[in-house]
Structure 1
Amino acid sequence: MFERFTDRARTVVRLAKSEADGLGHPMMGTEHLVLALLLEEGGVARTVLDGAGVTHAEIRAAIAAGDDAAALRSIGIDLDAVRTSVEQTFGPGALERAEPAERGGFLFRRSKLPTRFNNGAKKALELSLRVALSLKHNYIGTEHLLLGVLKEERGAGGRLLREHGLTYDGTVERVQAVLRDAA
């Protein structure tokens, strides 16, 4: 599938990996794809996102703040109380992420595991191909990645974009307008 990606779309995937690494996330998700789309200047997706008022700083801050904690609070789960209870039972630092053990030997020289796509990002990439085909495009550009993220309903990236007022259908219209203007 990656052979259909434009240079800009490939750059977005590389930037998404950098964003995930920079946030200390072991898996690359749709939220990292959104951050990368906001960094790739000149792409159709960036034009659409700029027009919608979505900024890299806002999205990164929302991800760093941990919107999951806010979502859990909204249904009555207090993460601080959960952490306190777990640490009382299992000891301080019980919830801290353990670093993977350093592997020795010739075949295991890497000290850090590679960042991989989570299921949402995989689905968004698959959907970007379907979106491209539905638009009768023989390539996958940044616009298709953006639409794939929005179409993948469970991903954090799509949720963050919907919070900024973007819908799939409305974004398709914006993408087509940008493509028409560029032609």
Structure 2
Amino acid sequence: MFERFTKTARDIVVGAQEGAVALRHDHIGTEHLILAIANHPGSVAAGALAQRGLSRDAIERAIRDLAAPKDGLDADALSDLRIDLDTVRERVEAYFGPGALERGHRKGHLPFSKAAKKSLELALREAIRLGEKAIDDRHLLLGVLRECVGSGYRIVVDAGVDIAALRAELDAGGTAQTA
């Protein structure tokens, strides 16, 4: 299936992995796909997200909020006690090596979540539905929106985006050009 991806779409999938690694996640989810889409300026899908207030920074904040510890111990709460988690992480990694604090730290490629795999499959179906041979950034975003269960979809919905209007814009081809 990946042979049908445009260069932009391939770059987005690679960017999703890089985003997951940067956020210290142990998988590539739909949230990482939309983060990578937003991080690909000039793409139709990135433009459509940006027009709705979903910039790379806004999506990254939403991802961090979704991944925030549920036990109440977070960086803000600990900073009140003069504990800086970034400093702790840096010191531990300087002593024990990179990734020492990672749970389930993996070397190499991260696995795709079930929702991300399904979104990639649905991207192919979206391209076929639109009569297009190649899978581009629009199809990737349409696949995430069609899956309706992943964190990426939740981020878009929580931002108050009209999903039907976004899908219609993507179906029409948007306004930006893809590579």
Which bracket does the TM-score occupy, shorter chain normalised? Answer: 0.7 to 0.9
> Is residue 157 from structure 1 mapped to residue 152 from structure 2 by the alignment?
yes
8 Å CA contact 2:35, 2:56 repeated in 1: yes
Q: Indicate if the aligned counterparts of 1:37 and 1:45 stay in contact, CA closer than 8 A.
A: yes
Larger Rg: 1
1:119 aligns with 2:114: yes
Which amino acid in structure 2 is aligned with residue 40 of structure 1? H
Kindly provide the CA deviation profile for residues 149-172 of structure 1, in whole angstroms up to 9, marking residues without a partner as x.
Answer: 111111000110111233442122
Question: Does the aligned pair in 2 maintain the 1:150–1:167 contact within 8 Å?
Answer: no
1:56, CA displacement in angstroms? Answer: 1.0
Partner Cα distance (1:135, 1:146) in 2:
14
User: Are positions 1:58 and 2:58 aligned together?
Assistant: yes
Deviation by residue 1:116-138 (Cα, 9 ceiling, x = unmatched): 11101000000111111111111
Between the aligned partners of 1:157 and 1:133, the Cα distance in structure 2 is 22
What does residue 129 of structure 1 align with?
A: 124
Counterparts in 2 of 1:175 and 1:80: CA distance versus 1, 3 Å:
closer
* CA displacement at 1:176 relative to structure 2: 3.7
Cross-structure match for 1:34: 34
> How many residues are paired up?
150
User: 63, 73, 79: which is aligned to 2:71?
Assistant: 79
Q: TM-score under structure 1 normalisation?
A: 0.73
CA contact (8 A) 2:4 2:135 kept: yes
Match of 2:14 in 1: 14
Match of 1:103 in 2: none
Which runs of 5 or more residues in structure 1 are unaligned? 70-77, 82-95, 101-110
Q: How high is the sequence identity, in percent, across the aligned residues? A: 36
Residue 148 of structure 1: which of 143, 151, 156 is its match?
143
Query: Unaligned 5+ residue runs, structure 2?
Result: 74-100
8 Å CA contact 1:29–1:121 kept in 2: the answer is: yes
State the TM-score, normalized to the length of structure 2. 0.74
CA contact (8 A) 1:48 1:178 kept: no
The alpha-carbon deviation at position 39 of structure 1 amounts to: 0.7
